[in-house]
């Protein structure tokens, strides 16, 4: 069982270590596995009580000398950093690593078209049909 003070200490050391090595805050999605690895058998959720990890970080940020960084428009982007780390998410609406390209029009898949046609047949006739997988693969590539 982990106490709140132990959890605060773990969060502080994780935030500091991650910032020192990467010069960027650690996202909460990465924080949980890191916290579990550091805590070993101690369950950090006991220290949270009824709070979420995000609300616990907010409420203990002064004591822990860390801070929660939230993206201004993307709710899921939440990170932990040392209190003196200079980092803010950009205000732009674009997302790093996500293409802004317009998706191309999908061409019809001939294998799916064949299966749609076959699905209209009675069950007795469907049971008699055998289609080699190589034929379906060739149709899906065309």
Q: Which of 59, 56, 50 shows the shortest CA–CA distance to 32?
A: 56
Inside any domain, residue 100: no
pLDDT digits over 56-98, tens only?
999 999 998 999 999 888 888 899 999 998 888 877 654 444 4
Q: Would residue 99 count as lying in a domain?
A: no
Cα–chain-centroid distance for residue 12?
22
At residue 92, the pLDDT reads: 61
- pLDDT by residue (tens digit) across 100-131? 444 545 566 788 888 888 888 888 888 888 98
What DSSP letter does each residue of the chain carry, written as one string?
A: ---HHHHHHHHHHHHHHHHHHHSSPEEHHHHHHHHHHHHTT--HHHHHTTS-HHHHHHHHHHHHTEEEEE-SS-TT-EEEEETT--------S--TT---PPPPPPPPPHHHHHHHHHTTS-HHHHHH----HHHHHHHHH-
Does 134 reside within a domain? yes
Count how many domains the chain has: 2
Expressed as residue numbers, the domain containing 131 is 110-141
Q: List pLDDT tens digits, range 3-52.
A: 999 999 999 999 999 999 999 999 999 998 999 888 887 888 888 999 99
Q: Which of 82, 97, 125 is the last residue of a domain?
A: 82
pLDDT of residue 107: 60
- Is residue 18 domain-shared with residue 65, that is, in the same domain? yes
Q: Does residue 34 form part of some domain?
A: yes
Clarify whether residues 74 and 123 are in a common domain.
no
pLDDT value of residue 98: 42
Q: Residues 8, 78: one domain?
A: yes
pTM: 0.62
Residue 89 lies in a domain: no
Domain identity same for 73 and 134: no
**pLDDT value at position 53?**
92
Determine how many CB atoms are found less than 10 A away from the CB of residue 83.
13
């Amino acid at each position: 069982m982990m106490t709140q003070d132990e959890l605060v200490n773990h969060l502080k050391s994780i935030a500091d270590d991650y910032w020192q090595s990467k010069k960027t805050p650690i996202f909460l999605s990465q924080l949980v596995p890191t916290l579990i690895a550091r805590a070993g058998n101690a369950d950090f959720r006991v220290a949270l009580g009824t709070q979420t990890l995000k609300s616990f970080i907010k409420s203990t940020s002064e004591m822990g000398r860390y801070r929660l960084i939230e993206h201004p428009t993307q709710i899921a982007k939440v990170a932990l950093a040392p209190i003196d780390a200079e980092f803010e998410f950009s205000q732009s609406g674009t997302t790093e690593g996500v293409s802004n390209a317009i998706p191309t029009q999908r061409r019809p898949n001939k294998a799916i078209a064949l299966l749609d046609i076959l699905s209209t047949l009675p069950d007795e006739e469907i049971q008699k049909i055998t289609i080699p997988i190589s034929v379906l693969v060739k149709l899906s590539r065309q």
